């Protein structure tokens, strides 16, 4: 029997920490998700721009070189306003919650990322999007 917090959707994950990207690939796979991961926010955006419809949810780190998570989320929302975006950070005190909500961030997760919280956050994000479409 499948866990109700698991899925089969495709997740775009962006974080400049190679170790965390590798952990997330494994974690997302164990939850039934297909993941496409980047350590470079510019490369992630280029891919998203080309194939935005492939993704069911995006998870971005807040603090990254090149393009920070808040800016990246805004750029992605311009292309696909319906894409659910979750932000992860080790520095929640640096997040301007009002700006994040204005950009369309729908959930926040603190690092280190816990598997059960990740699973619940992704399901809420994807299911919330589905409810708006219905």
Residues 6+ apart with CB under 8 A from 107: 86, 87, 121, 124, 125
Task: Tell me if 5 is assigned to some domain.
Answer: no
Look at residue 63 and tell me if it is in a domain.
Answer: yes
Instruction: Indicate whether 3 belongs to any domain.
Output: no
Instruction: Annotate 83-96 with three-state secondary structure.
Output: CCEEEEECCHHHCC
Does some domain include residue 4?
no
Residue that has been written with the tokens 């070189």 in this structure? 65
**38, part of any domain:** yes
Flag whether 1 is in a domain: no
pLDDT at 44: 98
Task: Examine residue 97 and say whether the peptide bond preceding it is cis (omega within 30 degrees of 0).
Answer: no
pTM over 0.85: yes
Per-residue confidence (pLDDT) for residue 100, from 0 to 100: 80
Q: Which range of residues forms the domain containing residue 72?
A: 10-133
Residue 34 is assigned to a structural domain of this protein: yes
List, for residues 5-53, the tens digit of each pLDDT value. Answer: 567 899 999 999 999 999 999 999 999 999 999 999 999 999 999 999 9
Query: In this predicted structure, what is the pLDDT of residue 92?
Result: 64
SS (H, E, C) 36-96: EEECCHHHHHHHHHHHHHHCCEEEEECCCCCCCHHHHHHHHHHHCCCCCEEEEECCHHHCC
Query: Structural domain tally of the chain?
Result: 1
In a domain, 2, yes or no: no
Q: In CATH, what number is assigned to the domain containing residue 42? A: 3.40.50.2300
| 44 in Cβ contact with 72 (< 8 Å) | yes
């Amino acid at each position: 029997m499948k866990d109700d917090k698991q899925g089969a959707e495709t997740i775009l994950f962006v974080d400049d920490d190679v170790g965390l990207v590798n952990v997330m690939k494994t974690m997302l796979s164990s939850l039934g998700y297909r993941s496409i991961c980047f350590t470079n926010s510019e490369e992630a955006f280029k891919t998203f721009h080309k194939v935005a419809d492939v993704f069911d949810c995006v998870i971005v780190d807040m603090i990254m070189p090149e393009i920070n998570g808040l800016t990246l989320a805004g750029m992605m929302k311009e292309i696909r306003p319906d894409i659910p975006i979750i932000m992860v950070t080790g520095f929640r005190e640096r997040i301007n919650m009002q700006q994040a909500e204005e950009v369309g961030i729908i959930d926040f997760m603190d690092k280190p990322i816990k598997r059960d919280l990740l699973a619940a956050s992704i399901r809420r994000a994807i299911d919330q999007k589905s409810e708006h479409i219905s």
